[in-house]
Structure 1
Amino acid sequence: MITPRFSCSQNDTSVVVSVYCPAVRGSEVEIHLDETLLSLHVAPYFLRLNFPASLVEDDQSSAVYDPASGYLTLTLTKQNPRENFPDLDFSDPTCKPTIEVLSSQDNSVDPGAAEHNEFLEAAANGWTIPQTISDTLPPYGFLNAYTGYFLHVATTENEINELGADAETLSLSERRNRRLKHEDSKWDPEHYMADFADDDQIEELLAWMHPHLEPPSANIVIFTEAENAAMLRLHRKEYLSSPQDTHGLYLTLLTLLFSYAYDARTTHHEPTPESAWTIAALTPAFSALDPPPYSSQPQPQTRTRHIDGHPPSASYDFGVHARELAETLIPSYRRALAFPLYRSWALAEACRTDVARFLMRGTRTVLRCLLELRTILDGHEVYYRYSRIWLDDFCRWIQACASEDTLVQLGQVVSRLSISKDSLGWDLVALESMVQIAKEGQPDSDDESERPALL
């Protein structure tokens, strides 16, 4: 089961526990309090806290769930009023409450039933059950450092998950195969032809200029107060990555910026409630846990160096690996033509150009884009987990480890890329030719019934 984010506070008479458990039903929350031990369950979340002194449930106690924010607030009465509960912020490890994470091991049974059985078993055993952590699950996320975030994905509403209940158990090659099949199944030639034929809205999107790419009024990007606050909330972390790992991060960065560029163009940089879905659906590392490299060619051997006292970074000659960069962006192009509202090759090309220009603006502009991505996903009750396994680390890494020179050079190469329509595996050229022939054969009459169909 998933341990939710939570915080504790107190006053003279009560302890308040705030638990973040989005997209659940308040009526399904089960709470048990036994003196110092608090246990809470609502699928797929389980939280068990052991407080330093006793609490009681009385008329002043309450449990309130706010579906808008996703927070469950528990107010529990102190058995001894004005007694101080030390270290509720968990600053002292010796006083830290005990939290046990329960996980279902039998994937052959219904996930919801398995979670309920676990909860009943815990109750029957005095709310104690041995913690088991599997070390055999294939990892994913930033530097393949994460597992367990999708153990109960079948019981949550995750519309962009393309791996189903097998998200935690599939190998990388299996994830990639499922991604490719899903993209092919979602490819709609008629939708593509319609957008190619009626391109007035597409032309408007193509003419739009991202504010981060407008001529700068100064030589340096000045972060806003909100951006500075977001960076301060990211705890410092050291990354020890191999040259091949670092190379993969630069490639993954291209796909993140492409998804960001597409959403920014189609919303004119004013994110909508659909933006989190759009970004997650267009990013293979999110929807299929399938980051680059996608190329079979060997990755370059690189030299490492220290930058401003930070952990080692890498400098690459991406100019000799333009083919690999094109292969990295092909899945982004495929997804941009298979999933969102606007499906246009010209729009995908404009997004690639935006990516190149973001990179050529350097570290600060790239970091600003990633912070905006993170804010969009953090505001979603399900997709926030992709911030945890990718964007939090990427924001730290860009600040501390990424090479400014490498970002600029990468942008220059991306700006010169030539991606073939045939490389997507769909007959784009033939479809566009059919539209052109249909347009040329249209009569001058405004009668829609006299116009030939595209297919």
Structure 2
Amino acid sequence: MLTPNFELKQTDKHVILEIKAPLANVARTELVADDFNVFFSSPPYYLRLKLPGQVRESPTESGTYDVDGGIFTFRLEKVVEGQNFEDLDLIGKFLFAHKKYQARPKIEVLDDVVPSSESEDEDEEQFWIAQQTLPAESLLTTPGYGFANKVTGNGAALREEFYEIIELTDVETTPVGERKLRREREELDKFCEDHYLADFMEPSEINAIIEFKAPWEELLENKLECKLTPEETEYLKDLGNRDYLLDAQETKSALLSLADIVFAYAYNFRTFTGENTVESAWTINKLSATLSWFQTHETAAQMKVASIRRSLIYPLYRHYGLSMKVLEDTVKILKLGRRQILKCLIDVHKLFNASEPRYLLNQLYITDYCIWLQKVSDRKIESLVERLKEASVAKEDLRLDLEELERAAMMVLEEELEAVYTKLSNVSLKDDTSSELVSSSGTSDEDSSSDSDESSGSTIDSDDT
């Protein structure tokens, strides 16, 4: 059975369901609206939805079918008239969740159970302040990876498939807590001082990249709302739906890793001025500690340090000012909310699908993020933005000795400039001395000539006399 493309709209009294089914068998079409559930069947199409509010079939209206467009239109009555059904454009969250999970939770969610992690009375401050403790790992426990670290096993397959895209070679034997230490040691070995100083001393091209106006900046400046395109909505539908049951710590880590991935995307978008290239998938993969090291972040400051470090070690442009600008982009993208973040993730999903074998990163992370994000409350995204704003990061926190390198470079530059100035001064002094000598020599000759003329004249006058 095929899942048709569909669209949800609403009025005060009705929910309008439009289903695009050009190959439908109209004679065998059936629609049932029961409480929160909507079932549609018209071979070869089948659709099952779980709406955020209660609906029922209208006794006075029936569905219509546009033969030319192949579109069914159904008007379903709201049980509570005037109730607002939120996020009807995020259609993926209303699809009936599959039982087979890509990132399997420890406890599967039943059809009639709503995950408590999204309860309205959850204290966001306690959510972030709660002490982060990594799960206990023993010799009998296989370290997890993927979305919320829910995937385990398949180590042999990972070594064969991931050698090009994952820097963590021993996935099954490296505990989650040790990945950060190993990553930082390798980053120190890869850090190139000459490359960093070259971009630091000659930033003209990088300044143009920093001044580039990204679309999310224009949306915020003009106070516009981000909206998904029909193609993006359809893309979310094709990804399907799953239920996730995450505790507070897992949700926190998932949000911080989301910011880490958005940073990598924003760097690629800004440095290539909005145009993807053959290096885009590599750049996003490499800059994200989540995607390249299966990193689990504990704090917002840790996430920012990891992202900035990698942006100064691996990509083409390695400039601290550019990294801070990309960090601003990350906050702005998150501030615009789930739809802007989904736009970025859909773009990443497309890039990875076209880049072997990075499509595996979609299976481990991006697909689950696209589905999960549609269900995350706006309050959680807003709290993530606040945590990123509050977490201050300075150059010394990166532990790359950037300030010492910059001071040494400026001292060398000053010495070179002083040497050039001294050389120019010496040349100027020589020119001035030579000019004085020429001037003095010219005056003496004139005086001598004048005296000679006077003497000569006097002799002639005496003889004549």
- TM above 0.5, yes or no, is yes
Q: Compute the displacement of 1:175 (Å).
A: 2.6
Following superposition of structure 1 onto structure 2, how do residues 114-153 of structure 1 map, counting pairs within 5 Å? 137-148=142-153, 151-153=156-158
Matched AA of 2:416? Q
Percent of aligned positions that are identical:
31
Partners of 2:187 and 2:310 within 8 A in 1 = yes
Following superposition of structure 1 onto structure 2, how do residues 275-314 of structure 1 map, counting pairs within 5 Å? 275-293=280-298
Change (3 A) 1:355 1:149: farther
Matched AA of 1:238? D
| Contiguous gaps of at least 5 residues in structure 1 | 1-134, 294-323, 451-455
In 2, the alpha carbon distance for the partners of 1:212 and 1:443 equals 42
Q: Give the equivalent residue in structure 1 for 2:174.
A: 170
Change (3 A) 1:141 1:186: same
Matched AA of 1:434? A
Matched AA of 1:288? W
Following superposition of structure 1 onto structure 2, how do residues 7-26 of structure 1 map, counting pairs within 5 Å? none
Whether 1:368 and 2:343 are equivalent positions in the alignment is: yes
Q: Give the equivalent residue in structure 1 for 2:271.
A: 266
In 2, the alpha carbon distance for the partners of 1:206 and 1:218 equals 22
Change (3 A) 1:154 1:197: same
Whether 1:424 and 2:398 are equivalent positions in the alignment is: yes
Matched AA of 1:279? I
Matched AA of 2:314? F
Partners of 2:226 and 2:339 within 8 A in 1 = yes
Question: TM-score normalised to the size of structure 1?
Answer: 0.58
The one of 160, 181, 202 aligned to 1:198: 202
Whether 1:230 and 2:205 are equivalent positions in the alignment is: no
SS of 1:168's equivalent? coil
The one of 301, 304, 307 aligned to 1:332: 307
The one of 358, 377, 385 aligned to 2:352: 377
Whether 1:386 and 2:361 are equivalent positions in the alignment is: yes
Q: What's the RMSD between the two structures over aligned residues?
A: 2.5
| Contiguous gaps of at least 5 residues in structure 2 | 1-139, 425-465
Change (3 A) 1:333 1:215: same
SS of 1:441's equivalent? helix
Matched AA of 1:437? M
Matched AA of 2:191? W
Q: Compute the displacement of 1:150 (Å).
A: 5.0
Say which structure is richer in helix: 2
Q: Compute the displacement of 1:149 (Å).
A: 5.4
Matched AA of 1:168? E
Q: Compute the displacement of 1:411 (Å).
A: 2.1
Change (3 A) 1:143 1:430: same
Partners of 1:206 and 1:347 within 8 A in 2 = yes
Partners of 2:143 and 2:173 within 8 A in 1 = yes
Partners of 2:143 and 2:171 within 8 A in 1 = no
Higher-Rg structure is 2
Q: Give the equivalent residue in structure 2 for 1:442.
A: 416
Question: TM-score normalised to the size of structure 2?
Answer: 0.57
Give the total of aligned pairs: 282
Change (3 A) 1:264 1:285: same
In 2, the alpha carbon distance for the partners of 1:277 and 1:374 equals 13
Q: Compute the displacement of 1:211 (Å).
A: 1.4
In 2, the alpha carbon distance for the partners of 1:268 and 1:372 equals 15
Deviations 1:116-151 (A, max 9, x none): xxxxxxxxxxxxxxxxxxx95322111222234552
In 2, the alpha carbon distance for the partners of 1:412 and 1:176 equals 24
Partners of 1:360 and 1:409 within 8 A in 2 = no
